[in-house]
Amino acid sequence: DAGITQSPRYKITETGRQVTLMCHQTWSHSYMFWYRQDLGHGLRLIYYSAAADITDKGEVPDGYVVSRSKTENFPLTLESATRSQTSVYFCASSFQGADSPLHFGNGTRLTVT
Amino acid sequence: GENVEQHPSTLSVQEGDSAVIKCTYSDSASNYFPWYKQELGKRPQLIIDIRSNVGEKKDQRIAVTLNKTAKHFSLHITETQPEDSAVYFCAASKGGSGNTGKLIFGQGTTLQVKP
């Protein structure tokens, strides 16, 4: 779905550094989500947002910070990256929350060395 | 907390055979159950979904069944084709205020369809 884009596609960073993953959608969907994907764990919800300035924790929020000052953007920040945060990160959006279809971005593959 | 268990983790079938993937969920308040397909290196994409007021839904070669009493739901793919090879994820969400953002995924099933 070209309406939701993530950047960068690939990122390598060092332990302790701050890194921000970007997510932008053009559908004006109210809801946006961040998931991480690791082998054996499927997709785990990090944070989600129901609207601008409204965010809430998911299953694995520790070590992450989100903000949503505009409806179309939902950046995810790792304030001090750790090796355990090496993963593929997917942003998604939906019109009506988690009980309507999610549209995923292409993902960001993050490696923390 | 909410939990979704998915089985099997891997499934190999011959082209033309059927494939069944099963999921169980823990929260009786869950009311929406989508299935996503993820091809290698790509994003997950919705293939079918079912709501708690429906017991079965079909779309061409794929179908989903839901048993609310037992808290499990299944994906059925008939006449499998090599292009069905992918990772499939089930998920369950809770409706109602305060829970509209939580879609919890199963661990995934890698389906291989052998020609």
Position B43 pLDDT exceeds 60: yes
Mark yes or no for CB contact A101/B103 under 8 Å: no
Averaged confidence pLDDT in chain B: 92
Mark yes or no for CB contact B100/A97 under 8 Å: yes
Which among A98, A101, A104 has CB closest to B101? A98
A54's torsion region: left (phi>0), alpha (psi -120 to 50) or beta?
Answer: beta
Position B38 pLDDT exceeds 60: yes
At residue B96 the predicted structure's pLDDT band, cuts being 50, 70 and 90, is low
Q: What is the pLDDT, as a whole number, of residue A79?
A: 95
Q: How far apart are CA A12 and CA A21, in angstroms?
A: 12
Q: Which of B101, B99, B33, B91 is nearest to A42 (CA)?
A: B91
With pLDDT > 90 as the criterion, what percentage of chain B qualifies?
80
Averaged confidence pLDDT in chain A: 94
Mean pLDDT, residues B8-19 taken together: 97
Residues of B in contact with A31 (CB under 8 A): 100-101
Q: How far apart are CA B37 and CA B110, in angstroms?
A: 10
pLDDT tens digits for range A57-109: 998 999 999 999 999 999 999 999 999 999 999 999 998 888 889 999 999 99
Tokens of A6: 């993530």
Position B98 pLDDT exceeds 60: no
For chain A, the residues whose C-beta falls within 8 A of a C-beta of chain B are 1, 31, 33, 35, 40-45, 48-50, 56, 58-59, 90, 96-102, 104-107
With pLDDT > 70 as the criterion, what percentage of chain B qualifies?
93
Lowest mean pLDDT among A57-71, B78-92, B94-108: B94-108
Position B97 pLDDT exceeds 70: no
